[in-house]
Amino acid sequence: MGGGQSTPTQPSVQQWSDQDKQLLIQAIATDPDFKTNIQNQIETDTSFRSTFVTNILADPTFKTNVITAIAGDPSFSDTVSKALISNAAFMKSVQGPQGLPGKDAVGLDWSVWSDGDKQAFVTLIQSNVDFRTTVMTLLKNDQAFTKTLVNNMLGDSAFTSNVIATLGSTQTFISAVGNALATNTAFTSMVRGQQGIPGIPGATGLTGPAGPIGPIGVTGPIGPQGIQGVKGDTGAIGPIGPKGATGPQGIQGIKGDIGGAAIPLPGLADTPLLLRTTGDNNHGLMWSADGDGPALFGNAGGKLMYGGKDGKKALWWDNNGNVAVASWLYVQGDANIKGSLRTPGYIGPYQMRFYDNNYNNSVGSGCLDIGQNGGLGLFTCGGYNTNNNQRFFYNPITGNLLNVANNKCLDVGNNNWNWIDCNNHQNQRFYRMQHNMQWRNGDCIDIGNSNHHSGCDGNNSNQKFVFDYLG
């Protein structure tokens, strides 16, 4: 088969690589079925939900990309919001000294609460003692927050009823809201009656006695500057100072033309340009005969930065020959990898349900089962945790498709697709394309073919499947 043989242990999703995160974002944005599966997994799988929140907390860029990807899906946004709100570490990270955390992960804007914000607020004060205690502290000490809460209550009777039902029996709430209503212009205008007729002016009182003389006033500002006086006579010339030290030698000028020859530019004459002046010759830039080009060198390693001398590193290396990049590494052509490509990025477990195949006279009821038809056949879907022959993990980075029952991966060797020990050979690298599982030659898994594969066809019901998450 080629490639090293290795049998994977239980797949891990605790630490996602940057590539795993990028693939997750792309799949959410482009694959509705994958997006639905991920939403279900966040709602039902405590371990996956914890890992998902942990990766968001550890990577601000990943958090921003997730928020952007789900911005147009209120249902998915609500699922992510509930996952974040229920995570103690996340709530602590976004709670300010007086403000309250918002379900959008950046804090509520108290002056313009959406219906979702109000629902999240009511849910938290009803179910979370710490959150409700924080709200009562703000009602007692933060007038701006209290006024904003009242503004939102005045504009929404349902929201007002829900808040009063939870907090209305507390003296702190009654006192704080009462004071806020008394100073709220919209409320007082609404409840104030019409202005009465002006009363008759009272009689003018007697003139009172003269008051005491006031204190002396503050000294006035300084007046404008006077006219400049006449210029005096020029003084005598002073003695000549001592001769200064000789300055450093200037850079040699460019040599002129000789018989029409080209003018050479000044260079370093193959001398390294050193970066330090302390006798440390291990850091600099020089011409290298090996490759006929520039060589940047350092002692323990080096780095390339952006954003000025106080910026951030984009690429760095150490004295063992290891090179790292801070973000995406874009390859315009082919990427030749001599060693192994490592990733922990298995996701699942899933059932592979062939939803458009009339299995056993019931459309969509057949699932891929390694115990049927030589390892790639259909059987009635077993549901959650009932049939390991139908439980699979998939690694979108390496392309491996792993079955739980035999702990083996799908392999295309000898043109007869079957299950063998997992490895990094190209025979086990599959790409999930919409509802097909495709190998590099353009063939897809085909449960109706004797060799278990045929040319990919988006209309072939023996090739079309969806991943159903099993938890």
pLDDT digits (tens, 9 = 90+) for 442-464: 899 998 888 889 999 988 989 89
At 409, the pLDDT band (50, 70, 90 cuts) reads: very high
User: Has residue 248 got a pLDDT over 70?
Assistant: no
Quick one: 43 and 167 in the same domain? yes
User: Has residue 11 got a pLDDT over 50?
Assistant: no
At 110, the pLDDT band (50, 70, 90 cuts) reads: very low
- Residue 401 burial (C-beta neighbours within 10 Å; 0-12, 13-18, 19+): buried
Of 140, 166, 186, which residue is a domain's last? 186
Question: What is the three-class DSSP state of 426?
Answer: helix
User: Has residue 20 got a pLDDT over 70?
Assistant: yes
- Give the pair of three-digit tokens for residue 312: 């951030």
- Domain annotation covers residue 313: yes
Mean pLDDT value of segment 391-417: 90
What is the C-alpha separation between 242 and 334, in angstroms, rounded?
70
- Domain annotation covers residue 330: no
Quick one: 449 and 374 in the same domain? yes
With contact defined as beta carbons under 8 Å apart, do 139 and 172 qualify?
Answer: yes
Quick one: 139 and 23 in the same domain? yes
Task: Tell me the β-bridge partners of 443.
Answer: 455
Q: Which residue has the higher pLDDT, 170 or 193?
A: 170
Quick one: 29 and 151 in the same domain? yes
* Segment 116-132, tens digit of pLDDT: 888 888 888 888 887 88
Return mean pLDDT, the chain.
77
Structural domain count of the chain: 3
Q: Give the single-character DSSP code of 272.
A: -
Question: What is the three-class DSSP state of 75?
Answer: helix
User: Has residue 103 got a pLDDT over 60?
Assistant: no
Quick one: 60 and 169 in the same domain? yes
With contact defined as beta carbons under 8 Å apart, do 445 and 437 qualify?
Answer: yes
At 294, the pLDDT band (50, 70, 90 cuts) reads: very high
What is the C-alpha separation between 56 and 84, in angstroms, rounded?
9
Of 141, 170, 186, which residue is a domain's last? 186
At 102, the pLDDT band (50, 70, 90 cuts) reads: very low
What is the C-alpha separation between 185 and 147, in angstroms, rounded?
11
Quick one: 28 and 164 in the same domain? yes
With contact defined as beta carbons under 8 Å apart, do 87 and 80 qualify?
Answer: no
Phi (first) and psi of residue 239, to 5 degrees: -70, 155
Mean pLDDT value of segment 352-369: 76
Quick one: 308 and 442 in the same domain? no
Quick one: 319 and 402 in the same domain? no
At 218, the pLDDT band (50, 70, 90 cuts) reads: confident
- Domain annotation covers residue 351: yes
Sign of CA dihedral 354, 358, 362, 367: negative
Mean pLDDT value of segment 100-121: 59
- Domain annotation covers residue 209: no
SS3 content of the chain, % helix, strand, coil (to 5): 30, 15, 50
* Range in 30-34, 292-296, 311-315 the model is least confident about: 311-315
User: Has residue 72 got a pLDDT over 70?
Assistant: yes
- Domain annotation covers residue 2: no
For residue 106, the model assigns a pLDDT of: 31
Quick one: 377 and 451 in the same domain? yes
Phi (first) and psi of residue 71, to 5 degrees: -60, -35
Q: Give the single-character DSSP code of 211.
A: P
User: Has residue 258 got a pLDDT over 50?
Assistant: no
With contact defined as beta carbons under 8 Å apart, do 347 and 396 qualify?
Answer: yes
Quick one: 176 and 43 in the same domain? yes
For residue 414, the model assigns a pLDDT of: 78
State the residue for tokens 């570490």. Answer: 89
Buried b (16+ CB within 10 A) or exposed e, 443-456: bbbbbebeebbbeb
| Cis status, amide bond into 272, omega within 30 of 0 | no
Task: Tell me the β-bridge partners of 353.
Answer: 367, 466
Q: Which residue has the higher pLDDT, 451 or 259?
A: 451
No. of H helices and E strands in the chain? 12, 20
The CATH number covering residue 407 comes to 2.80.10.50
User: Has residue 421 got a pLDDT over 90?
Assistant: yes
With contact defined as beta carbons under 8 Å apart, do 398 and 424 qualify?
Answer: yes
Task: Tell me the β-bridge partners of 286.
Answer: 295
- Residue 312 Ramachandran class (φ > 0 left, ψ -120 to 50 alpha, else beta): beta
With contact defined as beta carbons under 8 Å apart, do 409 and 402 qualify?
Answer: yes
For residue 344, the model assigns a pLDDT of: 55
Residue type, 273: L
Sheet arrangement for strand 431-433: 431-433, 436-438, 443-445, 453-455
Domain encompassing residue 302: 295-325
For residue 455, the model assigns a pLDDT of: 93
User: Has residue 188 got a pLDDT over 80?
Assistant: no
Q: Give the single-character DSSP code of 373.
A: G
Quick one: 177 and 83 in the same domain? yes
Q: What percent of the chain has pLDDT over 90?
A: 11
Q: What percent of the chain has pLDDT over 70?
A: 76
The Cα angle at residue 340 between residues 415 and 352, in degrees rounded to 5:
50
- Domain annotation covers residue 211: no
For residue 252, the model assigns a pLDDT of: 54
What is the C-alpha separation between 45 and 347, in angstroms, rounded?
12
Sheet arrangement for strand 323-325: 301-306, 312-318, 323-325
- Give the pair of three-digit tokens for residue 415: 């043109």
- Give the pair of three-digit tokens for residue 85: 């709100």
Of 186, 206, 235, which residue is a domain's last? 186
Quick one: 175 and 305 in the same domain? no
- Domain annotation covers residue 48: yes
What is the C-alpha separation between 440 and 454, in angstroms, rounded?
12
Residue among 425, 435, 437 at smallest CA distance from 376 = 437
Q: Which residue has the higher pLDDT, 160 or 189?
A: 160
For residue 206, the model assigns a pLDDT of: 84
For residue 289, the model assigns a pLDDT of: 86
pTM value is 0.31
- Domain annotation covers residue 242: no
